[in-house]
Amino acid sequence: MTGPLLELQGITKRFPGVVANDDVTFSIGPRQIHALLGENGAGKSTLVKIIYGVMHADAGSMRLDGKAYAPANPSDARANGIAMVFQHFSLFEGLTVVENVALGISAALARQGLRERILSVSTAYGLKLDPDRRVGNLSVGERQRVEVVRCLLQGPQLLIMDEPTSVLTPQEVEVLFATLRRLVLEGCSILYISHKLEEIRALCHRATILRGGKVVGDCDPTRETARSLAEMMIGTALSPPRREVGRIGPVRLKVEGLTLSSAEQFGVDLQDVDLDVRAGEIVGLAGVAGNGQAELMQALIGERLADRPTAIQIDGVAVGGRSPSARRALGMCFVPEERLGHGSVPDMSLWENAVLTGRARMNLGSFGFIGVSRAKDFAAKVVAEFAVRTPGVERTARSLSGGNLQKFLVGREMLQLPTVLIAAQPTWGVDAGAAATIHSFLLALANTGTAILIVSQDLDELLAICSRIAVIAGGRLAPARPVDQLTTEQIGRDMGGHGPSRLGREQAHA
Amino acid sequence: MLRLEPRREPAQAMFYLTPFLAIALTLLAGIALFEILREPPLEAMRLIFIKPLTSVRGVAELLVKGTPLILIAIGLAIGFRGGIWNIGAEGQFAIGALSGGAVALAFYPATGWWLLPLMSLAGIAGGAAWAAVPALLRTRFNANEILVSLMLVYVAVLLLSWLVHGPLRDPDGLNFPESRLFQTALPILIDGTRAHIGFLVAVAAVGLAWLLLERHFLGFKIKVLGQAPPAARFGGFSDRRLIWFCFLLSGGCAGLAGLFEAAGPVGQLVPALPAGYGFTAIIVAFLGRLHPVGILFAGLLLALTYIGGETAQIAMSLPSATTAVFQGMFLFFLLAVDVQVNYRLRWVSRRSPPAAARETGERPMSQTAPAHSMEH
């Protein structure tokens, strides 16, 4: 074995008021999957941005293949064989898959035959993709495939992946892992950022743990337990969420025969969806990304109205034809999947984003005027209770890291003490400590009699906190079953199994 | 070579600095222009930008020209904040003058304390009704409001002209295409000048618009709609209602401005009444950063170009296009330097390949806002 592929020596990066990376030193070996672990705000994103040339270190140096390496910008990094899949995808919604791939790679690579190469790479690595579809119509999981394929086309020697599995089913994760392991065999190294400790144990050869911008540990993750890794990351002992079976009350959220054709050209039509969520229970909605979850969320939020008022009922009140605000007034709260731009307004401050959904229930104003101080108090309470790392509630939503924004949005909805809470991917991109906080809040909220519906692709999460799980596939919802009668494999089969999946159906058409 | 790099967050300082930068660049370009024309540049600039401010009459005229600019720009800016593009204020201005003026002519020669308020209401209603057309077509048929509102300007101006040539022509006016002089006029603010109370209304509109945008939930909804349409849907804000509101409001403001112009400095309906205030107000709105207080100052500055242009005509026999040239330069330079808010100008060496300009992943590239508003 030769020397390390990439060495980082004393990397330091300061932002006003915070040291994001403090004297970070570690190295990534050739043909290794190296995990970078840390809580939100530990400095992982900053570090990989420095490696990828998006940011420049204030101090320290890097060596790639033994030669000094200081990328001026991402294309410089790519020219050196470093590729990256970002947590926030950099895709143009209005363009097709081919066009998006062409924009992100060098001009030489983007020449003719790109479509065929995309197809061959995506089939070779089991990442199903239709090159001619518009990215705007793709699910989050499919968008990620576009990013991964784009990177693979460049034949990188180091692939950086920022929380890649948060939107995948167990089977999809297996496919991705197979892809990654195959890449390693072909000589590529991988820098893998994730909060899913089990995955890191299953996949990675080494792990570097960051806390507060500093390296606090370096270990072989296969020799650690998920718990010991989490504790290294947080620096304190963790208590796993406990599912107490509280009193299950009457049905609070009832979906009855909801049929809705999708507004998107390539969307999934909801067909005769039935679902009950009772007071005090957490129901999980599992499914492969793009099987009708987005459409169901829209219908539940009220962004698209149901054809009959009785298709959706809250505490017996038919709300299928009512606006999101009317539903909030009745006690429904929502955490949408896309946090920046949908769940929040990127360039508005946190307190203004608190007003976005909290106005009626939190009484953030009177006579149509906004109660600025009350809104700021509410936002500050969310920040405090959910440990959102931000200098203050005047900061914009865009300035928060993904996980911190997620904590803020989840907190904003939960502190409104809803009677029905519907959350999509509530812990997507959130570290283990924060996920535990969110889970314990969800359980506590359920114990107060709230009916909770969680839409998630993270099966471990659903199995940990839900009492029943329903699987959605091809716009049809199977009846919810109690978790103690279910296994991961079983749910996984249902996800791909009954009813044709979206991609399968399209290919059948083609 | 020079290259633009996206900033991590929009630069707050730049946001407020760029209008001043644009003003400075306009003045420099003006000096260069006069130099080329072989006119004494500093003297010309003094005549255009300083001389009008040295007399009571000049200041009063500033208020006269500033009133319609500010009033219209306030209405437009509220819509612009929501991504609702009413470009047809000029037409709404003409219809406002027409409907308000028609009320006065209908009651002629009767007059009283009630007449001006009634004319004002009619002016607001007329402007709002004209703006309702693009609002209806946009919300019903998803027609592009920019095109519809702009094209209606020409309809409105010709309608005014036709009515003044025909039914509304002064019967004792020797066939001149103009209406009777109104039996009432706006109260004068400064004795011996044309400055009227319309300016106070414009200032009040500035205050109300600030309240609406910064403190009221309706303004909040408009801003959310403008910045993140999916978030507005998530919040449950009806884009149809907001489009209606913004069009009626901006149309009403433009209509009131038109009535003030007719019942104030002009005193009657004439075909040449719409003199471009509705278009200049778009410059005012952007130069004022779509912020009510900014618009107040921007409105007065652009008013100055009108008066200064006249002075330059009289004193230096320059063409009347001077005004338009300066207004155009303001907008041109503002748009040019505004890039600095979201981007940073960097000098980079030639060898790094420019292909990566749109890379970085710093921001999620969901800036397809126009596509959004077209699609739903």
DSSP result, B84-106: -----HHHHHHHHHHHHHHHHHH
Distance separating the N- and C-terminal Cα atoms of chain A: 48
Residue B4's H or E segment, with its range, is: strand B2-6
Phi and psi at residue A385, in whole multiples of 5°? -70, -25
| Least confident piece of the model among A47-61, B216-230, B300-314, B362-376 | B362-376
Residue B285's H or E segment, with its range, is: helix B277-287
Residue A212 burial by CB count (10 A; 0-12/13-18/19+): exposed, middle or buried? middle
For B227, the domain range is: 61-296
Question: Do the chains contact at B228 and A94, CB–CB below 8 Å?
Answer: no
Residues with Cβ < 8 Å from B111, sequence gap 6 or more?
Answer: B183, B184
Instruction: Round to whole Å and give the CA distance between A370 and A364.
Output: 6
Kindly state the average pLDDT of the residues A345-358.
94
Q: What is the pLDDT of residue B208?
A: 97
Q: How many angstroms separate the CA of residue A206 from the nearest CA in chain B?
A: 27
Query: Cβ atoms within 10 A of the Cβ of A479, count?
Result: 10
pLDDT at B170 over 70: yes
Task: For residue B238, give the chain A residue with the closest CA.
Answer: A323
Question: Do the chains contact at A343 and B361, CB–CB below 8 Å?
Answer: no
Question: Do the chains contact at B234 and A356, CB–CB below 8 Å?
Answer: yes
- CA angle (A239, A409, A428) in 5-degree steps: 60
Note whether B264 and A381 are within 8 A (CB): no
**Which residue, among A193, A127, A140, A139, has the nearest Cα to A163 in the 3D structure?**
A193
Beta bridge partners of A6: A28, A64
Say if residue B109 is preceded by a cis peptide, omega within 30 of 0.
yes
Question: Do the chains contact at B231 and A352, CB–CB below 8 Å?
Answer: no
Note whether B27 and B50 are within 8 A (CB): no
Chain A residue numbers touching B233 (CB-CB < 8 A): 303, 324
Note whether B144 and B133 are within 8 A (CB): no
Instruction: Round to whole Å and give the CA distance between B229 and B272.
Output: 40
Q: Length of chain A, please? A: 510
Chain B residues 234-273 within an 8 A CB cutoff of chain A? 234-238
Note whether B12 and B348 are within 8 A (CB): no
Chain B residue numbers touching A72 (CB-CB < 8 A): 352
Percent with pLDDT over 90 in chain A:
34
A357 has a chain B CB within 8 A of its CB: yes
| Least confident piece of the model among A371-375, A444-448, B5-9, B265-269 | B5-9
Question: Do the chains contact at B224 and A336, CB–CB below 8 Å?
Answer: no
Question: Do the chains contact at B227 and A346, CB–CB below 8 Å?
Answer: yes
- CA angle (A257, A260, A261) in 5-degree steps: 145
pLDDT at B13 over 70: yes
Question: Do the chains contact at B366 and A93, CB–CB below 8 Å?
Answer: yes
Choose between A462 and B119: higher pLDDT.
B119
Q: Which pair of structure tokens corresponds to residue B6?
A: 């996206």
**Which residue, among B178, B185, B75, has the nearest Cα to B127 in the 3D structure?**
B75
pLDDT at A497 over 80: no
Interface test with A, best of B15, B81, B234, B375 (most A CBs within 10 A): B234
If you ran DSSP here, which 8-state letter would residue B48 be given?
I
pLDDT at A509 over 60: no
Do β-strands A365-366 and A369-370 pair in parallel, antiparallel, or remain unpaired? antiparallel
Note whether A162 and A48 are within 8 A (CB): yes
Q: How many angstroms separate the CA of residue A479 from the nearest CA in chain B?
A: 28
Q: What is the pLDDT of residue A102?
A: 86
Question: Do the chains contact at B220 and A370, CB–CB below 8 Å?
Answer: yes
In a domain, B374, yes or no: no
B1 has a chain A CB within 8 A of its CB: no
pLDDT at A101 over 60: yes
Note whether A350 and A412 are within 8 A (CB): no
Percent with pLDDT over 70 in chain B:
91
In a domain, B96, yes or no: yes
Chain A residue numbers touching B224 (CB-CB < 8 A): 345, 348, 356
A325 has a chain B CB within 8 A of its CB: yes
* Per-residue pLDDT tens digits for B49-63: 898 899 999 999 999
Task: Please report the number of interchain residue pairs, chain A to chain B, with beta-carbon separation below 8 angstroms.
Answer: 119
If you ran DSSP here, which 8-state letter would residue B53 be given?
G
Question: Do the chains contact at B218 and A368, CB–CB below 8 Å?
Answer: yes
Chain A residue numbers touching B365 (CB-CB < 8 A): 90-92
Which residue blocks in B82-192 are alpha helix, DSSP H?
89-107, 115-141, 145-165
A368 has a chain B CB within 8 A of its CB: yes
Name the residue among B211, B228, B356 with its Cβ closest to that of A74.
B356
Q: How many angstroms separate the CA of residue B227 from the nearest CA in chain A?
A: 7
Residue A149's H or E segment, with its range, is: helix A140-152
For A197, A212, A236, A329, A504, the CA distances from A229, given in Å and listed in that order, are 7, 16, 11, 42, 39
In a domain, B281, yes or no: yes
Q: Which pair of structure tokens corresponds to residue B60?
A: 């009063």
In angstroms and rounded to an integer, the radius of gyration of the C-alpha atoms of chain A is 23
Kindly state the average pLDDT of the residues A24-49.
86
Name the residue among B231, B233, B361 with its Cβ closest to that of A86.
B361
Instruction: Round to whole Å and give the CA distance between A214 and A42.
Output: 8
Question: Do the chains contact at B9 and A93, CB–CB below 8 Å?
Answer: no
Q: What is the pLDDT of residue B123?
A: 97
Q: What is the pLDDT of residue A265?
A: 63
**Which residue, among B302, B304, B257, has the nearest Cα to B284 in the 3D structure?**
B302
**Which residue, among B326, B300, B299, B297, has the nearest Cα to B312 in the 3D structure?**
B326
Chain B residue numbers touching A376 (CB-CB < 8 A): none
**Which residue, among B56, B19, B92, B136, has the nearest Cα to B249 in the 3D structure?**
B92
Chain A residue numbers touching B12 (CB-CB < 8 A): none
Q: How many angstroms separate the CA of residue A357 from the nearest CA in chain B?
A: 6
Domains contained in chain B, number: 1
pLDDT at A76 over 50: yes
Instruction: Round to whole Å and give the CA distance between A400 and A383.
Output: 12
* Per-residue pLDDT tens digits for A439-448: 888 998 999 9
Chain B residue numbers touching A86 (CB-CB < 8 A): 361
In a domain, B39, yes or no: no
Question: Do the chains contact at B230 and A352, CB–CB below 8 Å?
Answer: no
DSSP string covering A426-478, please?
TTTT--HHHHHHHHHHHHHHHHTT-EEEEE-S-HHHHHHH-SEEEEEETTEEP
**Angle of helix A402-414 relative to helix A432-447, nearest 10 degrees?**
10
DSSP string covering A114-129, please?
HHHHHHHHHHHTT---
Question: Do the chains contact at A107 and B356, CB–CB below 8 Å?
Answer: no
Task: For residue B232, give the chain A residue with the closest CA.
Answer: A342
Name the residue among B216, B234, B356 with its Cβ closest to that of A73.
B356
- State the pTM of this model: 0.74
| Least confident piece of the model among A10-24, B42-56, B100-114 | A10-24
Residue A255 burial by CB count (10 A; 0-12/13-18/19+): exposed, middle or buried? buried
Note whether A134 and A94 are within 8 A (CB): yes
**B75-112 burial by CB neighbour count: b if 16+ within 10 A, else e?**
bbbbbbbbbbbbbbbbbbbbbbbbbbbbbbbebeeeee
**Angle of helix B145-165 relative to helix B115-141, nearest 10 degrees?**
140
Interface predicted TM-score (ipTM): 0.81
**Which residue, among A200, A218, A222, A201, has the nearest Cα to A209 in the 3D structure?**
A218
pLDDT category, B356, cuts 50, 70, 90? very low
Q: What is the pLDDT of residue A499?
A: 39
Kindly state the average pLDDT of the residues A25-29.
91
Chain B residue numbers touching A107 (CB-CB < 8 A): 355
pLDDT category, A16, cuts 50, 70, 90? low
Question: Do the chains contact at A343 and B234, CB–CB below 8 Å?
Answer: yes
Sign, CA dihedral A210-A211-A215-A218, equals negative
Domains and CATH numbers, chain A: 6-234 (3.40.50.300), 247-331+420-434+450-510 (3.40.50.300), 338-417 (no CATH)
Question: Do the chains contact at A73 and B234, CB–CB below 8 Å?
Answer: no
Note whether B330 and B23 are within 8 A (CB): yes
Name the residue among B217, B227, B228 with its Cβ closest to that of A368.
B217
**Which residue, among A75, A450, A84, has the nearest Cα to A247 in the 3D structure?**
A450
Q: What is the pLDDT of residue A244?
A: 58
**Which residue, among A392, A496, A505, has the nearest Cα to A170 in the 3D structure?**
A496
Task: For residue B226, give the chain A residue with the closest CA.
Answer: A345
Residue A268 identity: V
Question: Do the chains contact at B366 and A94, CB–CB below 8 Å?
Answer: no
Residue A381 identity: K
Question: Do the chains contact at B368 and A94, CB–CB below 8 Å?
Answer: yes
Chain B residue numbers touching A347 (CB-CB < 8 A): 10, 227
Question: Do the chains contact at B230 and A342, CB–CB below 8 Å?
Answer: yes
**Which residue, among A106, A47, A44, has the nearest Cα to A80 in the 3D structure?**
A106
B347 has a chain A CB within 8 A of its CB: no
Question: Do the chains contact at A341 and B236, CB–CB below 8 Å?
Answer: no
